[in-house]
Amino acid sequence: MAFRLANAGIDWQCRWCESYCRTRDCTSAGRLVVPGKSVGTAVPSAPRGKYSLPKFSKPKAPAGTVYRGDPGMWSWVLHRITGVAIFFFLLVHILDTALVRVSPEAYNAVIGTYKNPIMGLGEVALVAAIGLHALNGLRIILIDFWAWGTKHQKLLQWIVIILWIVLLVGFVPRHLINVFSE
């Protein structure tokens, strides 16, 4: 390879000792040099007017192109999180309901642990997750299957947030009164 490079007018230039090695025997990493040609933003690096190719490194993203998120991204993230939370709730619900067939006493004990204020707050979180997941799912359906939906995604997002808050304002006070009055 060194012979081909030399015949093509390209020498292997050592980074540290600035020698023009025909082989890669030098322990330091080298770079290719094209005699008499300027490539890109190369600068002279050798005494005989030779120019080196610029070092290739991983390209950096231009300023301002890093995606920082907007309501659509957070909606996507919350949709996944609420979906996983609902899945785990359903898993636990199926398992504790299955206890009825195994042992009614064990089922009653498990249901007894659910009757405390901490689980009441968990029920609020569950209703909030189900409501957000359902409303956001309807928003996604509208965006996917209705031509008007893609043009008005932000409006649909704000409608989902407002409906979700209305749902929680209607549910949370009544539920917490029932939880803490017992």
The answer on 88 and 48 residing in a single domain is no
DSSP 8-state secondary structure symbol assigned to residue 31: E
The answer on 141 and 108 residing in a single domain is yes
Q: Residue 19 is part of which domain span?
A: 2-52
Distance separating alpha carbons of residues 45 and 36, to the nearest angstrom: 12
The answer on 92 and 19 residing in a single domain is no
Cβ atoms within 10 Å of 54's Cβ, excluding its own: 12
Burial environment of residue 13 by CB neighbours within 10 A (0 to 12, 13 to 18, 19 or more): buried
**pLDDT tens readout for residues 141-179:** 999 998 888 888 889 999 999 999 999 999 999 999 999
Distance separating alpha carbons of residues 78 and 16, to the nearest angstrom: 53
The answer on 120 and 30 residing in a single domain is no
Q: How many domains does the chain have?
A: 2
The answer on 137 and 89 residing in a single domain is yes
The answer on 93 and 20 residing in a single domain is no
The answer on 90 and 14 residing in a single domain is no
The answer on 152 and 75 residing in a single domain is yes
**pLDDT tens readout for residues 41-58:** 444 444 455 555 556 565
Task: Establish if 58 belongs to a structural domain.
Answer: no
pTM for the structure as a whole: 0.61
The answer on 36 and 83 residing in a single domain is no
The answer on 110 and 169 residing in a single domain is yes
Kindly state the helix (H) or strand (E) to which residue 126 belongs, with its residue range.
helix 117-145
Identify whether the C-beta of residue 50 lies closer than 8 Å to the C-beta of residue 33. Answer: yes
Residue 64 has pLDDT above 90, yes or no: no
